[in-house]
Amino acid sequence: MKRGIVAGLLALTVGLTLGACAPETPVAKLSATKTATPTPTPTRHPGLGPECPTDDCFTITATGDMLFHAGLWKPAVIPTDATGRNYDFMPLLQGQSAYLNESDIAICHQETPFTQVGQEPTGYPIFATPWELASTEKAIGYDACDTSSNHTVDQGYDGVVRTLDVLDENGLKHTGSYRTPEEANQVLIMDTPAGKVAFISATFSVNGNFNEFDWQVNYPLDPDVMIARAAQARAAGADVVIGVQHAGTEYSNEADIQQINNAHALIDSGQFDMVYGHHPHAIQPMEFYNGHWIVYSLGNGISESSGDYPVNNEFLIMRAQFSKAKDGTWSVSDMAWAAATNKQDGVYRWCSVASDAPQGVCQSPEFDAGVRERTRATVNAMGAEAAGAHEWLVTQEK
């Protein structure tokens, strides 16, 4: 055998032997790695006010009649300022701001129409309230005003239009009176981060004054009409619907049969989550009826003092927290109230007489305590405290 052939055979044998014994070169293997999907953190909308018991809450605050006589506007006169104002109502109403700004939506009752620029204001029986009031209402924290009352049309259709224009100019939403039939067919739905709330209002009377058009104010107060409007609001996306009735016996601390029947009809319809009211110029009870709250009268939002009717000088501000349950339903999870009066240091001021005295002494410790305890007794006359209603101590909130 030739030497070259032998060498070749030896090399082949060695190569095969080494190949069989050499370690394999690692080869990367593909594997399906399962990526865990993180559990989304629920987005919470707790709203302003008390601690939210669920993920989603909002609060609404309401006051009673903005009722202006000369005793309120004369002390508010100022030299004409750069905006053309001749009245400054901030000192009168500023005390409300601590409460209004602890709520997601604050709504007033603009009972009387506004003057036009240069028009002298007037009081009872045909009211015209200085238009400058609207800028103060906005500045202290109101978001909207209900405008259906027995004085809505005191200045005729022009007064209705002017009032709504002034509210618009000051960034205040409104419901209860209207400039056009098309506007009258709409409902007020206000947004919060947690949900949408609608306000449906009506008045029992317009005092027979200047009611040129049937559609210019929600009158008469007809529960069936209000229920239909509530259904309209639901169809438009409202999560919560609140009824507002301007009715009752003046200067009475008791709800009358019309108020009770109306409010119960609204709740019993299943379309309303809460009802409140004004007009009596006196505080009236809260009632927890069929699982829902009714506040029969908030009294006045502000008023001049009355010696004949002391109840005219005592006010109620209330806040309701609505919370959304896991099944999507909404209910009131907290109902709070605070009492107030209309003077401090002998000057007209909206002044809280709540137990925490957020504005200090209003008239005297004895007077303040008297207003507060009369209010407490009236509010609870239909079992409100047992159902969970409590005094609103705004200084103790976080």
Mean pLDDT score of the chain: 92
DSSP state of 258: H
How far apart, in whole angstroms, are the C-alpha atoms of residue 209 and residue 116?
Answer: 19
Q: Does residue 172 form part of some domain?
A: yes
Joined together, the tokens standing for residue 295 give: 């506040």
Structural domain total, the chain: 1
What is the C-alpha separation between 338 and 57, in angstroms, rounded?
A: 21
User: Of 2-11, 81-90, 97-106, which range is least confident?
Assistant: 2-11
Calculate mean pLDDT across residues 81-101.
97
Range of the domain at 379: 57-396
**If you search the block for the tokens 């006589």, which residue do you land on?**
69
What's the CA gap between 127 and 68, in Å, rounded? 8
Closest CA to 64 of 241, 278, 257, 230: 278
pLDDT at 10: 35
**Are 394 and 338 spatial neighbours (Cβ–Cβ below 8 Å)?**
yes
pLDDT at residue 211, rounded to an integer = 86
d(CA 72, CA 83): 21
For the segment 289-309, the average pLDDT, to the nearest whole number, is: 98
Query: H helices of the chain, where?
Result: 3-21, 70-73, 90-93, 97-100, 133-140, 156-169, 181-184, 223-235, 257-268, 365-379
pLDDT in tens, 36-71: 666 666 799 999 999 999 999 999 999 999 999 999
Residue 113 lies in a domain: yes
SS3 158: helix
pLDDT tens digits, 236-280: 999 999 999 999 999 999 999 999 999 999 999 999 999 999 999
Tokens of 318: 């209330």
pLDDT of residue 41: 66
Is residue 251 assigned to a domain? yes
pLDDT in tens, 108-117: 999 999 999 9
Greater pLDDT, 175 or 31: 175
Q: What is the predicted pLDDT for the residue at 20?
A: 41
Cα(233)–Cα(227) distance, integer angstroms: 10
Question: Rounded to an integer, what distance in angstroms lies between the CA atom of residue 186 and that of residue 282?
Answer: 31
Longest Cα–Cα distance of the chain, Å, equals 143
Would you say residue 263 lies in a domain?
A: yes
188 in a structural domain: yes
Q: 88 phi and psi, to 5 degrees?
A: -130, 110
Over pLDDT 70: what percentage of the chain?
A: 89
Residue 258 lies in a domain: yes
pLDDT at 398: 74
Residue carrying the six token digits 């750069």: 82
- pLDDT-above-90 percentage for the chain: 88
Look at strands 300-302 and 57-66 and give their pairing. Answer: parallel
Mean pLDDT of 169-193: 98
Contacts of 140 (CB under 8 A, 6+ apart): 90, 93, 94, 96, 97, 100
* Rounded mean pLDDT, 152-176: 98
Residue written as token pair 């009245």: 87
The pLDDT of residue 1 = 36
- Overall pTM > 0.85: yes
d(CA 350, CA 116) in angstroms, rounded, equals: 25
What pLDDT score was predicted for residue 233?
Answer: 98
What is the tens place of the pLDDT at every residue in 21-40? 444 444 444 444 555 666 66
What tokens does 31 get?
């594997």
Phi, psi of 7 (to 5 degrees): -60, -40
210: confidence class by pLDDT, cuts 50, 70, 90: confident
Residue 90 lies in a domain: yes
| CA pair distance 145, 163, nearest whole angstrom | 11
Which pair of tokens denotes residue 164?
Answer: 């709504």
298 within a domain of the structure (yes/no)? yes
What average pLDDT does the segment 206-210 reach?
93
pLDDT number for residue 16: 37
SS (H, E, C) 42-85: CCCECCCCCCCCCCEEEEEEEEEEECCCHHHHHHHECCCCCCCC
CATH of the domain at 226: 3.60.21.10
> In the 8-state DSSP scheme, what is residue 94?
G
User: What's the one-letter identity of residue 160?
Assistant: V
Our CA angle for 52, 56, 57, nearest 5°, is 55
pLDDT per residue as tens digits for the range 333-370: 999 999 999 999 999 999 999 999 999 999 999 999 99
